Structure 1
Amino acid sequence: MVEAIGLTKRFGSGEQGVTALDRVDVTIRPGEFFTLLGPSGCGKTTLLRLIAGLEQADAGELRLDGGSITGLPPYRRPVNTVFQSYALFPHLSIARNVAFGLEMRRLPRGEIDAQVAQALSLVRLDGYEKRMPAQLSGGQQQRVALARALANRPKVLLLDEPLSALDLKLRKEMQLELRRLKEATGITFVFVTHDQNEALTMSDRIAVMDKGRVLQVGTPIEIYDRPQTRFVADFIGEANLLAATASGDGRRFAIEGTGDVVLGDDERSEPGRRVTLAVRPERAVVTPPGDGGFDATVEQLIYAGNETHLHVILKGGQPFRVCLPNHQGAAPRYRAGEALGVVLPPEACHVLAD
């Protein structure tokens, strides 16, 4: 549905110039929920604005549904954008807000009324047509912004961090609502966020970006379980990054000052090569000291409701985090300075490419 080919965008010139996008290639499939994820300044919003036509690339090509849209103005692109600020007209009723784009296209009044009613029904705001934006909650205003964008029946809906102004509970509700809307309409959603949990919860596929480049594209499971770089492993959720050296047949890895771990064939590396092992905190296992795990010492214990975060120091000095579930509200009991063992199951470890 959307294809970016070698997109480059710079702001400013000379030494003061900034490269916002550096030869970006991305393919977004029809009907999928595709998320651009990364820290502030990584280029994700710039890429969204290029797709919308609000910015023009310095180099590269943009294609939408098989045809080039490079250089086309926004009003000639079959896309709509939902912004973080909602951008509702405060002096217009909810129905008039939703109808605005349709009226600009000079559609017949009967067709406008039908599409407004359908869009408000999609976002579950039937009966709110005569209210004003100030009479709605933040979540309801966000739904109006979605209805206005959906009423135009775009091929692609662009969402620029639309949930960031909502409180946590409402954000989680709207995440499910957006997934439902995508399934109900079949429209391709392109979503921008810096929130990793939001991306994992909502997306069919995720593009992780940093410094104007796309580092990895994959499903949430692929991105979380098999990150390709240190940045992706560290940015998505939490990860222990352990320095190690491959030996033997390439499946044995010596963790500096700690001990060896043997991994599966798909994690094989060249013997003698120094690598980084990524281990998710919830995949490690805690054992009594001397019971088969790597020797470790408790540094800090953090209670987080449904889980406890255990910060330890492995033998050799490498810090390590373990996430333990709190069964029936009972938190694991450890004290600072206490000795224990940490087991790294082979399936818990992933060798990073960089």
Structure 2
Amino acid sequence: MKDWAIEARGLTKRFGTGADTVTALDRVSVTIRENEFFTLLGPSGCGKTTLLRLIAGFELPSEGKLLLHGQRIENLPPFRRPVNTVFQSYALFPHLSVLRNVAFGPEMQRRPKAEIEAEARRMLELVRLEGFERRLPRELSGGQQQRVALARALAGRPRVLLLDEPLSALDLKLRREMQIELKRLQHETGITFVFVTHDQEEALTMSDRIAVMSGGRILQIGTPTEIYEQPTSRFVADFIGETNFLDAHCEQVAEGRAQFRLSSGDLVQGLAIPGLMSGSEVTLAVRPERLDLLADGQPGIPATMQDLLYIGNDTVCTVALADGTELQVRVQNRHGAIHASAPGSAVRVGVEPQAVRVVGD
């Protein structure tokens, strides 16, 4: 397909031999579109960095095919691929000025001197570092060094930019600022970005699509909204955001809705998934912010308040159902800290059908 920047077909990567063989990537197939901000998300050891290194050419696949704009590249060395990488450590040349760092790529491409200078200055303007041309990397903050690394990578005019957890060394406020900057840069340059992270907030904030990985495989691909609102497995639901899991028995299914009986004996309505049948045992996922904390006597599931945790924007309430099952209910502090019932008090939990989803193993 002409608008695919990257195609992986059954990519497998093994390390070691014999009994010591470790499969880091297991028959992964994925397509990444032209001009897309695509994120590989998952815990340490899930295979996301291995996949990135295969695209960069730093590792060769044990099996499978890898295509860039329709051309096979799995056996090409890194310098033959129109791909650049921004590393977590930035890897700037400490003895070169900011301008010379950014100009390094175009210089290696043997472009005309005037063009190199103009391109380096344009990239610094793009990352908002005008006036820093003569500084050395040690004279910059962490966020500024990261911008220089981005400018250097972009100056090489890659068709794909790979980013290996480049924000992990920054403090929280700066990291959030750089998330906005990265998305702006991707939009302005039109380059395909492939971003690796274990941080769900980064993935949700910046991505056009996300691939959630575990055990060397891709479990689900979708937009941030699809991944968060419609997880297809317990792992994805648990890894992306906070989730309550409830064991339940499906009482009946009709017109895309289902009625479930919880282990506490309470009934809830929820959204059915294809293939769901009456009489089946299922796991339900409900986000804490999709639950309502109600006073005793109002419609809802009866529960007992266990604990309250004030975290600024929200208060997280822990409640227990009749059988002891605990639920987290996140209440937004719109009008200041909430004054909910004290621990041990009877409350009710409101559950809208749209908030209840069946997830697989």
TM-score, normalization: structure 1? 0.97
Q: Contact (CA 8 Å) 1:254, 1:260: kept in 2 or not?
A: yes
The equivalent position to 1:259 in structure 2, one of 266, 269, 277, is 266
Query: 1:100, CA displacement in angstroms?
Result: 1.0
| 2:245 corresponding residue in structure 1 | 241
Q: Percent identity?
A: 61
**Do residues 344 (structure 1) and 340 (structure 2) align?**
no
| 2:137 corresponding residue in structure 1 | 133
Query: 1:15, CA displacement in angstroms?
Result: 2.7
| 1:170 corresponding residue in structure 2 | 174
Distance 2:84 2:221 in 1: 24
Q: Contact (CA 8 Å) 2:39, 2:197: kept in 1 or not?
A: yes
Question: Does the residue aligned with 1:290 lie in a helix, a strand or coil?
Answer: coil
| 1:159 corresponding residue in structure 2 | 163
Q: Contact (CA 8 Å) 1:4, 1:27: kept in 2 or not?
A: yes
Query: 1:267, CA displacement in angstroms?
Result: 7.2
Question: Does the residue aligned with 1:206 lie in a helix, a strand or coil?
Answer: strand
Question: Does the residue aligned with 1:120 lie in a helix, a strand or coil?
Answer: helix
| 1:14 corresponding residue in structure 2 | 18
The residue identity in structure 1 corresponding to 2:223 is T
Query: 1:31, CA displacement in angstroms?
Result: 0.3
What is the Cα-based RMSD across aligned positions, in Å? Answer: 1.2
Distance 1:267 1:60 in 2: 31
Q: Contact (CA 8 Å) 1:9, 1:59: kept in 2 or not?
A: yes
| 2:332 corresponding residue in structure 1 | 325
Question: Does the residue aligned with 2:330 lie in a helix, a strand or coil?
Answer: strand
| 1:287 corresponding residue in structure 2 | 294
| 1:335 corresponding residue in structure 2 | 342
Q: Contact (CA 8 Å) 1:206, 1:218: kept in 2 or not?
A: yes
**Do residues 87 (structure 1) and 87 (structure 2) align?**
no
Distance 1:292 1:18 in 2: 53
What does 1:189-228 align with in structure 2 at a 5 Å threshold?
189-228=193-232
Query: 1:268, CA displacement in angstroms?
Result: 7.3
| 2:62 corresponding residue in structure 1 | 58
**Do residues 44 (structure 1) and 48 (structure 2) align?**
yes
Query: 1:327, CA displacement in angstroms?
Result: 2.1
The equivalent position to 1:276 in structure 2, one of 280, 283, 287, is 283
Query: 1:169, CA displacement in angstroms?
Result: 0.3
**Do residues 75 (structure 1) and 75 (structure 2) align?**
no
The residue identity in structure 1 corresponding to 2:360 is A
**Do residues 142 (structure 1) and 146 (structure 2) align?**
yes
Distance 2:308 2:252 in 1: 37
Q: Contact (CA 8 Å) 1:8, 1:21: kept in 2 or not?
A: yes
Distance 1:12 1:92 in 2: 39
Distance 1:320 1:125 in 2: 48
Aligned length, in residue pairs = 354
Query: 1:17, CA displacement in angstroms?
Result: 2.1
Q: Contact (CA 8 Å) 1:8, 1:60: kept in 2 or not?
A: yes
| 1:232 corresponding residue in structure 2 | 236
Question: Does the residue aligned with 1:249 lie in a helix, a strand or coil?
Answer: strand
Q: Contact (CA 8 Å) 1:286, 1:340: kept in 2 or not?
A: yes
Distance 2:286 2:274 in 1: 13
TM-score, normalization: structure 2? 0.96
Q: Which runs of 5+ in 2 are unaligned?
A: none
The equivalent position to 1:184 in structure 2, one of 166, 170, 188, is 188
Distance 1:187 1:281 in 2: 37
Question: Does the residue aligned with 1:163 lie in a helix, a strand or coil?
Answer: coil
Distance 2:105 2:271 in 1: 56
**CA offset digits 1:25-62 (Å, max 9, x no partner):** 11100001000000000000000000000001100010
Q: Contact (CA 8 Å) 2:304, 2:347: kept in 1 or not?
A: yes
Query: 1:234, CA displacement in angstroms?
Result: 0.3
Q: Contact (CA 8 Å) 1:284, 1:345: kept in 2 or not?
A: yes
The residue identity in structure 1 corresponding to 2:204 is L
Moved more, 259-268 or 334-343: 259-268
